[in-house]
């Protein structure tokens, strides 16, 4: 059976805006793909929050665990994919390890950030004061602090022309993932924040394909 990817999308828009990409994922990687909208996105009810988005991703993984239990999918070949905000969601989710309803075979993080506080430093350096951030930041998403808790293999995909998240965030995340079974880091010189999947070319897809094969010790 082929791998299954649980896709956690970025902040802007909803899954309906990503159908072209989803079609290409299916074509290029030959995988099952499970996508969902966080609460407050698309047709999903509720109000977005940091704990809420993590809970939503956990619920999606729990659903996949049920599909694995009845042999609809191969539970040993489930991967977590997150881009930008989705990368932060995946970091938090996968850090729970054996407490997860289904442990992933690997984690893929694309164009994500170390924390919201660090993003504020880049976007608004005149507000880069610790006491201000501690008092006023509602969202934390402290991926750099959490990523060392992840034990699974991690693939990092970094677009070097990312206009929203400075590329050094991805390098710092990779450097912080010291407990991962192994890490792979690929850069894409023309990749911007939301379209590295378009600009990365053959290398973008081959990096993922090889990672999936390596983690599952199989070809598909």
For residue 118, what pLDDT is reported?
Answer: 80
Beta-carbon contacts of residue 215 (< 8 Å; ≥ 6 apart): 79, 105, 106, 153
Q: Which of 29, 47, 31, 51 lies closest to 39 in space, CA to CA?
A: 47
For residue 16, what pLDDT is reported?
Answer: 85
What residues are paired with 187 via a beta bridge?
A: 158
Say whether 121 is catalytic.
Answer: no
For residue 135, what pLDDT is reported?
Answer: 56
For residue 123, what pLDDT is reported?
Answer: 59
Sheet holding 183-188, edge to edge: 32-35, 4-8, 78-83, 106-110, 154-159, 183-188
Residue 14 is encoded by which pair of tokens? Answer: 């909803």
Catalytic residue among 9, 112, 162, 186: 162
Q: Which of 105, 125, 107, 109 lies closest to 117 in space, CA to CA?
A: 125
Q: What is the DSSP letter of 13?
A: S
Q: What is the DSSP letter of 164?
A: S
- Residue-wise pLDDT for 93-125, tens only, equals 999 999 999 999 999 999 999 998 887 766 555
Q: What is the DSSP letter of 188?
A: E
* Alpha helix stretches (DSSP H) within the chain: 19-29, 50-69, 85-94, 116-123, 130-136, 143-146, 168-176, 196-199, 201-216
What residues are paired with 109 via a beta bridge?
A: 82, 156
For residue 154, what pLDDT is reported?
Answer: 98
Q: Which of 138-147, 152-161, 202-211 has the lowest mean pLDDT?
A: 138-147
Say whether 169 is catalytic.
Answer: no
Catalytic residue among 121, 179, 193, 218: 193
Confidence tier at 190 by pLDDT (50, 70, 90):
very high
Residue 150 is encoded by which pair of tokens? Answer: 């992840």
Residue 173 is encoded by which pair of tokens? Answer: 């995340």
Catalytic residue among 84, 95, 112, 143: 84
Say whether 193 is catalytic.
Answer: yes
């Amino acid at each position: 059976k082929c791998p299954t990817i649980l896709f956690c999308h970025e902040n802007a828009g909803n899954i309906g805006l990503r159908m072209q990409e989803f079609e290409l994922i299916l074509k290029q990687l030959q995988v099952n793909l499970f996508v969902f909208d966080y609460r407050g996105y698309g047709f999903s009810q509720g109000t977005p929050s940091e704990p809420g988005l993590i809970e939503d991703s956990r619920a999606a993984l729990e659903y996949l665990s049920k599909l694995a239990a009845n042999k609809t999918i191969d539970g040993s070949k489930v991967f977590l994919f997150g881009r930008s905000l989705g990368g932060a969601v995946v970091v938090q989710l996968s850090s729970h390890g054996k407490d997860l309803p289904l442990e992933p075979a690997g984690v893929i993080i694309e164009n994500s950030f170390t924390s919201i506080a660090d993003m504020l430093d880049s976007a608004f350096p005149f507000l880069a004061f610790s006491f201000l951030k501690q008092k006023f930041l509602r969202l934390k998403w402290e991926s750099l602090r959490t990523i060392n808790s992840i034990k699974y293999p991690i693939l990092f995909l970094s677009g070097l022309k990312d206009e929203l998240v400075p590329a050094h965030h991805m390098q710092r995340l990779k450097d912080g993932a010291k407990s991962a079974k192994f890490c792979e880091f690929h850069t894409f010189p023309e990749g911007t924040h939301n379209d590295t999947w378009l600009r990365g070319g053959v290398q973008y897809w081959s990096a993922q394909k090889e990672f999936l094969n390596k983690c599952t010790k199989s070809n598909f």
